[in-house]
Amino acid sequence: MTPAEDRDVFATTMGDFLASWNLPRATGRVYGRLLLNSSPASLDELGEALGLSKGAVSVAVRELVSWGLARTIPQPGSRRLLVEAVGGFEQLLAASHERTRAFIRVLRSGTRSAEDEKAEARLAEVADFFESYVDAGEQMLRTRRS
């Protein structure tokens, strides 16, 4: 397999992987490509490399930026942006933890609406489980950073 084919396979695999996390497949493909690039790329370059429209790449980049996995670099005197990956799995895990914390807050707020103590206990158990998951992940990130 050629290096170009290897890059395509990697980007496709990242797309499939992140799709399993309910992110758009195009977002995963763009992220995969950004991880492989040694320098920032334009939306046009990414679209051409991945066979995606500029609109699809733009949406993917916005998603990646919202997850903290990419950053855009404005070009002076132009509306054109360059994009680069800013992190790896650590950023994805940190972003996942943030979304999980929001989920935990929703679960905790549901206890006020529970029909009875059994339902309230179930909500608390689910929230506690996800809280343990986030705590374990945070500990892993702290250990990795030290």
Spatial separation of the C-alpha atoms in residues 128 and 134, rounded to whole Å: 10
The residues, any chain, with a CB within 8 Å of residue 46's CB and separated by 6 or more, are 30, 33, 34, 52, 57, 61, 83
Condensed to tens digits (0 to 9), the pLDDT of residues 88-142 reads 667 778 778 888 999 999 999 998 899 999 999 999 999 999 999 999 999 988 8
Tell whether pTM > 0.75. Answer: no
Condensed to tens digits (0 to 9), the pLDDT of residues 56-77 reads 999 999 999 988 889 999 988 8
Considering only the C-alpha atoms of the chain, give the largest distance between any 2 of them, rounded to a whole number of Å.
62
Task: Say which amino acid occupies 96.
Answer: S
Condensed to tens digits (0 to 9), the pLDDT of residues 14-59 reads 999 989 888 899 999 999 999 999 999 999 999 999 999 999 999 9
Angle at 62 between CA 61 and CA 68, to 5 degrees: 85
CATH of region 3-87: 1.10.10.10
Q: What is the pLDDT of residue 88?
A: 64
**What is the sign, positive or negative, of the torsion defined by CA atoms of 99, 105, 111, 115?**
negative
Each domain of the chain, given as residue ranges in start order, spans: 3-87, 90-144
Q: What is the pLDDT of residue 116?
A: 95
Q: What is the pLDDT of residue 11?
A: 96
Spatial separation of the C-alpha atoms in residues 132 and 146, rounded to whole Å: 21
